[in-house]
Amino acid sequence: MKKTLLIAACATLLAFTGCKDKKNMDNPFFSAWETPYGIPDFSKIKTEHYLPAFDEGMRLQKEEINAIVNNTEAPTFENTIEAYEYSGAMLNEVASVFFNLSECENSEEMEQIAEEVTPKLSAHGDDIALNAKLFERIKTVYDQRESLNLEPEQMRLLEETYKGFVRSGANVAADQQARFRELNEQIASLTLRFAQNVLKATNAFKLVLDENQLEGLSEDQKAAAKATEGENAGKYVFSLQMPSWEPFMQSCSNRDLRKQMWDAYANRCYGGEFDNTKIIDTLVNLRLERANILGFKSHADYVLDDCLAKTPQAVYDCLMQIWNPALAKAKSECAEYQKMIKADDASAELEPWDWRYYSEKLRQQKYELEDEVVRPYFSLDGVREGAFNVANKLYGLTFKENPELPTYDKEAHAYEVMDGDQVIGILYMDFFPRESKRSGAWMTEFRGQKIDKEGNNVIPIIQVVCNFTKPTADKPSLLNFDESETLFHEFGHALHGLLSKCHYPSLAGTNVSRDFVELPSQIMENWCRNPQVMKEYAKHYQTGEAIPDELIKKIAAAQTYGQGFINTELLAASLLDMDYHSITEKQAVDPVAFEKAALDRLGLIPEIISRYKSAYFQHIFTTGYDAGYYSYTWTAILDHDAFAAFVESGDLFNPELAKKFRHLLESGNTQDLMTLYREFRGKDPDVKPLLRDRGLI
């Protein structure tokens, strides 16, 4: 999941209503949105509006910070902590719109703006974090906290605000502050360049084929790839976007073509025009230096100090208890595929570009479960409605599409989210690839839930973005089962944001630690794959027939198939991330050599690579999961254990458990997160449900 870039206190209020000149009067960020629910008026926003709005937003927040610092009254929770929490309203609004749209509506102009504004935002953030007088007031309130009779959420805000300033450098020695600022600016600029390189490298490759080169591909796959206009009209075009790349790798019989696609995918950003290797070297060392200045021996120590895991060793211990059984299973899978490729070509040795092809072939043989037999029952519309129905049964929510609401793209659909007759949030869903859109799937927000300074509840505006195969002339978008789980996953993140019932924006919704934030998303995958639930939402797109019991059984039986590969590539990426960020001495980092050494130490077999190779590993070098990619596995333990509570109760929609889990979702970061989990589950989480469900024990 990709969280919105939030500045300062993560507040998002109505835009500043004042304006100075005609140019600013024409800028939609300088007045309140005259739209339903205060949704950004996307139709009025032009690229030239962003930089003036960013500048004004930073100016206004500086005024607000100065007002706090220069207040002659003694520091209090209200005049210091709350005042800071609600500062930066306009800046946060501009940032949330700009950085969300730069992910899914990118352009050269947007990239130029990002390059110009990113160092400004970094410097602005440092001006606040390193403001000694501001921190002195915050510390004064913090030191008095036990005598202030604060409400629990107020106390949490005070503690998190104080901790956030310390982690942002408030205690950095004066003679190190200039270097600290420089580090933050360089890190921000490098992460931006890394992301831009990955997007450009992904879009730069196209494999253009004639029909006689498509042996093994289904008619649906051919139809999805056939170009109908432009220079490649009549030919078949395959890209590095997952809805194109993965089905090709699973189905194409031509081994040389699979290798071409594999090489293009796996070698992105290693040298050439979009090289990321030097960025990685610099970024890893800059992060280490910053962590050292903050008093931590490694970047991982710094990151994890604010997470449930707390230490790198705890992460390694967690991952390794799954790595060993997963690797053993992967080796047995490899042996099976090696036999198959030998049967096709006695001289061939299994390579990474063969794995998906033979895995899919064996899956079909074992379970008679061809992807093209499954897809007709998982239309995008059906899966989406299935997710909506689960939310309705658990929490009583309904989702009403409203085409009158403003949207940023014709493919983005807006829904009013209803709890009874009350609208509690707006949900955007944007499902198809575009060249202006980065690959992957994520949830973010144009506005988080909060209570504003006047005491009004401000409803959240949430966005879910995916990259599924587009409909063709005669078929809707049909998903494979993994894609269906992806939709449920991101929808789970959306529910976390939509159901938030917090007072303060920086504590609301998904503003929790990274090794907790995946719990609400991953638990939804359990309902997606449950046979009882599947029977309700998986309907044949032509006949409306519910998915047959026999096919459900095959899907269920296949759930543990390929888990050796799935878990080892995921864990390899997680451990590679930890290795990069656990270094304690500055060193020259060659990503190719570093990655090989890390994976060799693990004993990863050469037929499998890390889920993301270093040069396009956006989670850890762009989207904020540095020293945090482990969280998908850490929270998988939580989500399997949590769903086991529903199974053990005999009711997948047990009202009492649903009420408790809704409370967890509503609470954001207003209290200790493991306390929230234990209140729901009644005990500490157990790893056994995860290992059992993945067929690793």
Active site (catalytic) residues: 490
**Rounded (10°) angle between helices 673-681 and 655-666:** 170
Q: Are 96 and 104 in contact (CB under 8 A)?
A: no
3-state DSSP call for residue 119?
helix
Q: Which two tokens stand for residue 15?
A: 């835009």
Which residues 6+ apart lie within 8 Å of 682 measured at CB?
none
**DSSP letter assigned to residue 227:** -
CA 163 from chain centre, in angstroms, equals 24
Pairwise CA distance, residues 42 & 40, whole Å: 6
Using the structure block, give the residue that is written with the tokens 């009420």: 659
CA dihedral 22, 28, 29, 30 (to 10 degrees): 40
Bridge partners for 415 per DSSP = 401, 427
Pairwise CA distance, residues 528 & 387, whole Å: 8
- Rg (the chain; Cα; Å): 25
**Three-class HEC string of 100-115:** HHHHHCCCHHHHHHHH
Q: Which two tokens stand for residue 340?
A: 């198959």
**What is the torsional sign of CA 434, 438, 440, 446?**
negative
Q: Are 527 and 660 in contact (CB under 8 A)?
A: no
Pairwise CA distance, residues 41 & 221, whole Å: 37
Q: How many CB atoms lie within 10 A of CB 271?
A: 12
Smallest CA-to-CA distance from 121 within 64, 54, 69, 180 is with 54
Strands 207-209 and 236-238: antiparallel
3-state DSSP call for residue 600?
helix
**DSSP letter assigned to residue 78:** I
Pairwise CA distance, residues 23 & 55, whole Å: 14
Q: Which two tokens stand for residue 239?
A: 């890209």
Pairwise CA distance, residues 429 & 413, whole Å: 5
Which residues 6+ apart lie within 8 Å of 550 measured at CB?
none
Pairwise CA distance, residues 310 & 304, whole Å: 5
Q: Which residues of 503-533 are buried (b: 16+ CB within 10 A; e: fewer)?
A: bbbbbbbbbbbbbbbbbbbbbbbbbbbbeeb
